[in-house]
Amino acid sequence: MKKISKYFVQGLVAILPVVLTVYVLCWLITTTETVLGSAVKLVVSDRLYVPGMGVAAGVLIILGLGLSLNLWVFSRLFAIGEEWVEKVPLVKFLYSSLKDLAQFFDSTKKKGFNKVVMADVLGNKDVGLIGFVTREEFSDLPEHVGDGDKVAVYLPMSYQMGGFTIIIPKSKVRYVDMSIEDAMRFALTAGVSTKSKEGAANSTK
C-alpha cells in the first residue's frame, strides 16, 4: 500500500503542473476568442469568420500597442491616461500593484530589486531572511521613513505572491552573490528550487 501511495504522489506531482498550465492557457485562449471573436464578427461576416481570429486579433492588438508605445506621441498619451487612473483611490492601488507585478517579468526594464541580501531581523546573525534591496536613498520620502544608514528590503513569502518591505540598517544585511531570478525562485519555493533549468545546465558545463 505504501508503494502505491508513493507512485500516486509521484504521478500527481508530475502531472499537476502540466494540467494547471494547460488549463490556464486554455482559459486565456477561450476568453480571448470569446471576447475579441465577437468584435471580429462585427467586421467580417459569419461566413468568413474562422475560429482563432479572436486570438489572432488579440496578438495583433498587443503587438500594435507595444510598437505604438515606442512612439513619443502614443507614449505621452498613455502616460497621461495612467496619471488619471492613478488619481482614483481604489483603482490606483489595484492598477499600481498589477503594473509592478507585470514589469517584474519584463526583461527589458530594470527591476526595482537590484541586490540580493540576507537580512538579520531576528537579532541572530546565524538566522537570516532572504530579501531584495529596493531602495538605498530616501531623500524623496517624508522624515523618519529612512536615512543614509538604512536600506529598504523586500522580504517575499514562500509559495504566494506577497511579502513585507522593511527599513533596516545597512549593518544588518549581508549581500549575496546571487541573481535576482534565482533568489526569487529560491524564496518563493521555500528553498526547494535554486536555479532555472537554463542556469543549471550552464553550471554543469
**55-69 residue pLDDT tens:** 888 889 888 888 888
DSSP H helices in 86-115: 89-104
With residue 160 as reference, give the H or E element that holds it: none
pTM: 0.49
Q: What is the pLDDT of residue 103?
A: 63
4: left (phi over 0), alpha (psi -120 to 50) or beta: alpha
> Residue 173: beta bridge partners?
119
- Structural domains of the chain sorted by starting position, each given as residue range(s) with its CATH number in brackets: 2-104 (no CATH), 115-203 (2.30.30)
Q: By 3-state DSSP, what share of the chain in percent is helix, strand and coil, each rounded to 5?
A: 50, 15, 35
pLDDT for position 28? 87
Q: Is residue 76 predicted with pLDDT exceeding 60?
A: yes
List pLDDT tens digits, range 25-46: 898 889 888 888 888 888 887 7
Q: Exposed (0-12), middle (13-18) or buried (19+): which is 51, by Cβ within 10 Å?
A: exposed
Predicted local distance difference test score (pLDDT) of residue 79: 84
> What percent of the chain shows pLDDT beyond 70?
85
